Amino acid sequence: MPPILFAANWKMHHGPVQAEAFAREFRELTFPSPDRELWFFPPAVSIGVLADAFRSRPDIRIGCQDVHWEAAGAFTGALSIPMVEEAGASAALVGHSERRHVFGETDADTGKKVTSLLKAGFRAMLCVGETLVEREAGKTEAVVLRQLNAGLGAVAPGDWPYVLVAYEPVWAIGTGRNATPDDAAAVHGVIREWIIAHGGPADVRILYGGSVKAGNVLALVSREGIDGVLVGGASLTPDGWAEIVGIGETTGLS
């Protein structure tokens, strides 16, 4: 079995002081396991703190929540890939639903970001998913395929090992509602079929994100085709996150 990937998206929480305190407590609660990977996507100001705090943990990777596709320029407020790499990041989220629906990131933007990240040797985690209106209209598959075409359509054969996908139905993010394991697995199957049809390997990791918590994570990661979870609010406390990532230790999954 490949390692389960537990990814924490802190969104606009935990500046450097809070991040350092989190890391100190989390190190005492968890230990490296060959059967799982832990990724953190903190606010940009906390990337360096976490990179330093977890330097001795080979199971932990630090990423950034967003990047610009240009390496430098007059883009006030944006962060380049070289900047976040210098801070300690080696992965990035692309097209998170909040970037799309709050900040206006377009499908075309996601494609440019993925291309730039892969060129720099970064891991790119493309987020895809439908709104409630789209789901109720039966458009889930069409929306996801459109986002995959735009975000990953230009991936070169040799770059697929650096690509991940997170299926995060917009209606389930921060709402307390989540897709059932069957719902998630069905969309994951659509995503995997698209990847294979476009020259990618069958083992590209696909995560589920959307109101994941300790009470439902086992049912999700136990399903074939769900390779991990992308977690928001439930990853913000050291003990809560340790409980989620430790779920495999008590069930035989990790």
Q: Which residues are catalytic?
A: 96, 168
**DSSP characters for 133-164?**
HHHHTT-HHHHHHHHHHHHHTT--GGGGGGEE
DSSP state of 26: H
> Exposed/middle/buried for 183, CB within 10 Å: 0-12, 13-18, 19+?
middle
Provide CB contacts within 8 A for 161, sequence distance 6+. 201
CB 228 within 8 A of CB 221: yes
> What is the number of other CB atoms lying within 10 angstroms of the CB of residue 80?
18
Are 181 and 223 spatial neighbours (Cβ–Cβ below 8 Å)?
yes
Which helix (DSSP H) or strand (DSSP E) does residue 53 occupy? Answer: helix 47-53
Strand partners, 108: none
Which tokens hold the place of 244? 């989620």
> Quick one: 166 exposed, middle or buried, by C-beta within 10 A (0-12, 13-18, 19+)?
buried
Instruction: Output the CA angle 176-247-174, nearest 5 degrees.
Output: 15
> Phi then psi for 123, rounded to 5 degrees?
-80, 135
